[in-house]
Structure formats: structure tokens, C-alpha cells
């Protein structure tokens, strides 16, 4: 059973550029979450999908952020016109839609905006 995977693991971009991250959840998991973690803090919730439906977005997710999960499988998180404040670790997690709702996290994508 493979875990949650994320790509790329590291991304360095210049301010104003667009970036896209990918998350592949555990295969039988139909819930998928994105979190953001800044230095010295715990992860903070960004958005949540159940299958292909995006059911909630945090106020942290400005208009420059968009997430998709076509066909309820992998998900992408895009940040447009990046700002230095977007520098963070972006974490993806997945869980089953029944029974124990334990979330499993991927290795994260570390974004640095210069």
C-alpha cells in the first residue's frame, strides 16, 4: 500500500510566477485535504475534497489559490502571481470516507518565493 505522494518536493520560484503542485492520495481514500505549514507553526487547513467535490475552503485560500480534483483521484493546487508570503510547506493528506477518519500525510512540497 503506497502512501500519499506529492510532486514536486521542492519548488523555488520568482515573485509573480504561477506554480502548481500535485497530490496523489492513497488509492482507496476519497477524502483529500490540503494544508499549509509555515516555519515554527503547525499545519493549517486550506481546503477539502470528498471525491471530486470541493466542500470547504479556508479563508487562508485567497483568490490567487485554486484547487481541483478531477475524477476524484489526484489533486492539484495552483498559486497564481506568487508572493513572498506564500513561501511555506504545502501538505496533502487523505482519509477514508467511512469508519476511522485517520488522516495520512504526504511528504509535502516546500515552496520558496524569491
Q: Which of 1, 28, 63, 102 binds other proteins (CB under 8 A)?
A: 102
95 sits near other proteins (criterion: CB under 8 A)? yes
Q: Which three cell numbers stand for residue 67?
A: 484547487
Residue among 30, 50, 26 nearest 96 (CA): 30
Closer to other proteins by Cβ: residue 45 or 80: 45
Map the footprint of other proteins across residues 41-70, applying CB under 8 A: 41-45, 48, 55-56
Q: Could you tell me which stretch among 15-23, 38-46, 62-70, 76-84 binds other proteins (CB under 8 A)?
A: 38-46
| DSSP code string of 20-51 | EEEEE--TT--EEEEEEE-TTS--EEEEEEET
The β-bridge relationship of strands 88-95 and 5-7 is unpaired
38 sits near other proteins (criterion: CB under 8 A)? no
Amino acid at each position: 500500500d503506497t502512501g500519499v505522494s506529492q510532486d514536486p518536493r521542492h519548488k523555488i520560484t520568482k515573485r509573480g510566477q504561477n506554480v502548481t503542485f500535485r497530490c496523489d492520495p492513497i488509492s482507496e481514500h476519497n477524502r483529500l485535504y490540503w494544508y499549509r505549514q509555515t516555519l515554527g507553526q503547525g499545519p493549517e487547513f486550506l481546503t477539502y475534497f470528498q471525491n471530486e467535490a470541493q466542500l470547504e475552503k479556508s479563508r487562508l485560500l485567497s483568490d490567487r489559490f485554486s484547487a481541483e480534483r478531477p475524477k476524484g483521484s489526484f489533486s492539484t493546487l495552483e498559486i497564481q502571481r506568487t508572493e513572498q508570503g506564500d513561501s511555506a510547506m504545502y501538505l496533502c493528506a487523505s482519509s477514508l470516507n467511512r469508519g476511522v477518519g485517520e488522516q495520512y500525510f504526504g511528504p509535502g512540497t516546500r515552496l520558496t518565493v524569491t
